[in-house]
Amino acid sequence: MDTFNLKMNEPVGETRLDAGVQNVIGKGIDRFEGPLKVTGRARYAYENMTGPEVAYGFVVTAGTGAGRIKRVDTMAALAKAGVLDVIYEDDGPRASADPNDNMPAAIKGEVVHYGQPICLVVATSFEIARDAARLVEVEFEPVEGVYDLEAEKENAYEPPKGSGAMPSTVKRGNFDKAFAEAEVQFDVTYTTPSQSHSAMEPHSAVADWKDGELTLYGCYQLVSTNVSQLAKALGISASKVHMVNRYIGGGFGGKLGIGPESVFASMASRKLGRPVKVMLTRQQVYQATSRRSDTIQRVRLATDKAGRIQAIAHDTITSNSRGDEFFEPAGISTVFLYAGENRQVTHRKVNLNLLLSSSMRAPGEAVGMLALENAMDEMAEQLGLDPIEFRKRNEPEVDPQDGLPFSSRMLVECMDEGARRFGWAKRSAKPGTRREGEWLIGMGMAAASRKNMLQQASARVTLLGSGHASVETDMTDIGTGTYTILQQIAAEMLGLPHENVEVSLGDSRLPQAPGSGGSWGANSSGSAVYTACEGIVEALAKKLGVKAEDMTLKDGTVISGNRQTPLSQVLSDGPIVMTGNFKPGKTSQNTHQASYGAHFCEVGVNAVTGEVRVRRLLTVGSAGRILNEKTATSQCYGGQIFGIGTALTEELVVDVRNGLLVNHDLAEYHVPVNADVPQLEVVLMPERDHAASPLAGKGIGELAICGVGAAVTNAIYNACGVRVRDYPMTLDKIL
Ligand code: MOS
């Protein structure tokens, strides 16, 4: 078996993808696994293994937010017919301090948040396990808990180095001096609540331990990372863990790390010597996995009279459990989005007795841009400038923090295109001037940006003489379209109809990819597939004794000069199997890479009730080459809907007496439903970013959620003159 390596030290120019011989790259073809999912043929984690040997676990969780466990009485539960065992932490290690997994860094015997997993009741059926779980008595010695970010903000501290996706403090120039001396100043604090990922599929796992080796059917986003996390939690070598994650019913960051379900299922299977299934209930998913942190964000802007920013600061406070230092990088966009000589972005953290806060869709930008883009709107008004004009006056030529060139940046083009399509010129700058009956109508806009994070990835591609190919990698598809995109890349590179490419994902025995997270999935795993295909093209050229660049691959044939040879002939001695190893290189360090966009929103605010209806929502995005128009657009729809929820309804409500999340299910935690979402519009700008990946693409998955909530709240202000500084904008805040 051969390997082909590519390290991206310089921009990759035009490729076979640009030639587009198969006319399949970029095309909005349907996800081929879609019909499998809607007809129940796609097997999700919990549906693996069904025989009578399978045992079922139910997690017992803490009914207090802070305390010491004095006694766990399992007698009554164990006495129940059908109950096999109760697994608790003395049976093996349960805690891990990995900042990106969903296991609390709990100190033995201590409860740090309400709903913290304590033990697992295992029985011959799910119903028996659930019933018996209620019979487990846990006695706590109460400890004083802290639950309220606002009340604890004086205790905020700088998280230790390396605990976040960026440094906790980033500065340039002298902010304080420049701010004090500037002609126009703005200083406002915004707050956002904790949020829940709320993926459709609850966290679930099936563990099957045989002869010292563990097979785990899971629903996680990052297979190779998750294998290491699980091995560490169980105190075994990662080589003993085989993880299978073929289909995943949504992630949004909530499945970036392993959860209690897989650790408990594995412990139980090891002890009982039979397969064990564990699924968290919807309530447990809310209480015992992870959340997006609540935030307090102070934004300060200072400009000259012409609206040129001279000083910009974004100081944020977020929360996490004690011992988990990961912080929401809420100021991440403020570092580079707008010009200004004097800059300051800080992140401080408060310890609360709440479940882990970790990454949720576009960690950082998604909440940080609520504050920044709302502030830009407020400042534009203070300056008497149109919000688009204000942003244009502060468009930086290079990264304003470190002076690096942008690999490509189409923010201005996105704003202009959006303004034209949306009819922005018809907006009245004065709030409350447009009325239709009871409804006040307003328009708002906001910028979008999401960092591009290319990752190392490998994939194996096999080309057969029959004109078929297969792609294999442990990359995941969380509903985003990975299966189909990788099929399209291989088809275009190898000159095959896309139906002839089979894609296998989500199995830890396959070559390692970085998984689905950070909007890097398609670009990174796709680059590995590209690399493997380049290796195959080289191998074919060698076989035919021609130069690769003189060769065209089309419809299962190789064309070189006036000779067209079918693959069956070229590969008469067997298939080519190629592992592509792709690594980011210097282009990721010597350019600043991000995707950009602009959101435009029109709302109606009911003058009598304060009810807000989003009437129109347009996002114009730019993310380099779009690999599949349909799946990319769908990702943006998802982001827009997330933004509507963030602006109007989503909020985890904490009972500050004990840390219970009061609204711990989909009935009470309000994600937008169809009736809340108008016909959405997404426009993706034609762009190639040759420094961002060999595919010339950038991350698109999380782009559209960034800033969109602020476009909604800026529209609310334009409609009725009420500024939202405390998200979500529920109607009690409007009246
Ligand atoms: Mo995303 S929050 O990196 O799954």
Give 115-141 as a 3 state SS string.
CCEEEEEEECCHHHHHHHHCCCEEEEE
> Residue range 449-457: average pLDDT?
97
Phi, psi of 290 (to 5 degrees): -155, 170
Q: Is pLDDT at 105 greater than 50 in this prediction? A: no
* Domains of the chain, CATH where assigned: 2-30+454-587 (3.30.365.10), 364-452+593-734 (3.30.365.10)
- Owner of token pair 């305390």: 67
Task: Give every strand in the sheet of 501-504, ordered side by side.
Answer: 2-8, 576-584, 457-463, 469-472, 501-504
- What is the number of other CB atoms lying within 10 angstroms of the CB of residue 210? 11
> Residue range 439-443: average pLDDT?
98
What share of the chain has pLDDT > 90, as a percent?
93
Query: By C-alpha distance, which of 635, 634, 645, 630 is closest to 713?
Result: 645
Chain segment 291-334, per-residue pLDDT in tens: 999 999 999 999 999 999 999 999 999 999 988 889 999 999 99
Tell me what pLDDT residue 90 has: 58
> Residue range 581-592: average pLDDT?
98
Residues 6+ apart with CB under 8 A from 651: 193, 194, 195, 663, 669, 727, 728, 730
Tell me what pLDDT residue 103 has: 53
User: Which residues is 460 bridged to in the sheet?
Assistant: 472, 579
As a whole number of Å, the CA-based R_g of the chain is 27
> Residue range 83-104: average pLDDT?
61
Q: Is pLDDT at 404 greater than 70 in this prediction? A: yes
Pocket test for ligand 1, best of 361, 478, 523, 635 (most atoms within 8 A of CB): 361
- Computed over every residue of the chain, the mean pLDDT equals 95
Q: Is pLDDT at 205 greater than 80 in this prediction? A: yes
Chain segment 258-283, per-residue pLDDT in tens: 999 999 999 999 999 999 999 999 99
- Whole-number Å distance, alpha carbon 516 to ligand 1 midpoint, is 7
- Whole-number Å distance, alpha carbon 701 to ligand 1 midpoint, is 9
* Two structure tokens written together for 267: 């412990």
Closest ligand 1 atom to 221 CA: 4
Spatial separation of the C-alpha atoms in residues 249 and 36, rounded to whole Å? 13
- Whole-number Å distance, alpha carbon 520 to ligand 1 midpoint, is 9
Do 350 and 149 contact (CB within 8 A), yes or no? yes
CA atoms within 13 A of residue 571's CA, in its CB half-sphere = 22
Q: pLDDT class for 668, splitting at 50, 70, 90?
A: very high
Pocket test for ligand 1, best of 455, 702, 705, 706 (most atoms within 8 A of CB): 702
Closest ligand 1 atom to 478 CA: 4
Tell me what pLDDT residue 47 has: 97
N-term to C-term CA, the chain: 68
- Whole-number Å distance, alpha carbon 622 to ligand 1 midpoint, is 19
Protein residues with CB under 6 Å of any ligand 1 atom? 221, 251-253, 256, 359-361, 363, 517-518
Amino acid at 466: S
CA atoms within 13 A of residue 606's CA, in its CB half-sphere = 9
Closest ligand 1 atom to 361 CA: 2
Amino acid at 128: I
Spatial separation of the C-alpha atoms in residues 380 and 458, rounded to whole Å? 47
Tell me what pLDDT residue 101 has: 54
Closest ligand 1 atom to 518 CA: 3
> Residue range 2-26: average pLDDT?
97
Query: By C-alpha distance, which of 478, 33, 46 is closest to 249?
Result: 478
State the sign of the Cα–Cα–Cα–Cα dihedral 599, 406, 591, 26: positive
Pocket test for ligand 1, best of 203, 225, 256 (most atoms within 8 A of CB): 256
- Whole-number Å distance, alpha carbon 33 to ligand 1 midpoint, is 22
Tell me what pLDDT residue 102 has: 53
- Whole-number Å distance, alpha carbon 418 to ligand 1 midpoint, is 27
Q: Is 317 helix (H, G, I), strand (E, B) or coil?
A: strand
Tell me what pLDDT residue 92 has: 45
Query: By C-alpha distance, which of 87, 88, 85 is closest to 128?
Result: 85
Q: Is pLDDT at 107 greater than 70 in this prediction? A: no
Closest ligand 1 atom to 253 CA: 4
* Two structure tokens written together for 398: 């290079």
The number of helices, as runs of H, and strands, as runs of E, in the chain is: 19, 28
- Whole-number Å distance, alpha carbon 664 to ligand 1 midpoint, is 21
Q: What is the pTM of this model?
A: 0.96
Do 174 and 15 contact (CB within 8 A), yes or no? no
Tell me what pLDDT residue 372 has: 98
- Owner of token pair 């998750």: 226
Chain segment 335-382, per-residue pLDDT in tens: 999 999 999 999 999 999 999 999 999 999 999 999 999 999 999 999
Tell me what pLDDT residue 35 has: 95
> Residue range 650-674: average pLDDT?
97
Report, as residue numbers or ranges, the catalytic residues. Answer: 702
Tell me what pLDDT residue 163 has: 86
Q: pLDDT class for 71, splitting at 50, 70, 90?
A: confident
Q: pLDDT class for 152, splitting at 50, 70, 90?
A: very high
Spatial separation of the C-alpha atoms in residues 213 and 234, rounded to whole Å? 12
Tell me what pLDDT residue 95 has: 42
Query: By C-alpha distance, which of 37, 72, 147, 198 is closest to 671?
Result: 198
Closest ligand 1 atom to 701 CA: 1
Amino acid at 400: P
Chain segment 548-563, per-residue pLDDT in tens: 999 999 999 999 999 9
> Residue range 230-244: average pLDDT?
94
Tell me what pLDDT residue 609 has: 96
- Whole-number Å distance, alpha carbon 538 to ligand 1 midpoint, is 36
List the Cα angle 647/479/217 in 5-degree steps. Answer: 120
Q: Is 459 helix (H, G, I), strand (E, B) or coil?
A: strand
Q: pLDDT class for 108, splitting at 50, 70, 90?
A: low
Chain segment 590-637, per-residue pLDDT in tens: 999 999 999 999 999 999 999 999 999 999 999 999 999 999 999 999
- What is the number of other CB atoms lying within 10 angstroms of the CB of residue 266? 30
Q: Is 487 helix (H, G, I), strand (E, B) or coil?
A: helix
Tell me what pLDDT residue 69 has: 87
What share of the chain has pLDDT > 70, as a percent?
97
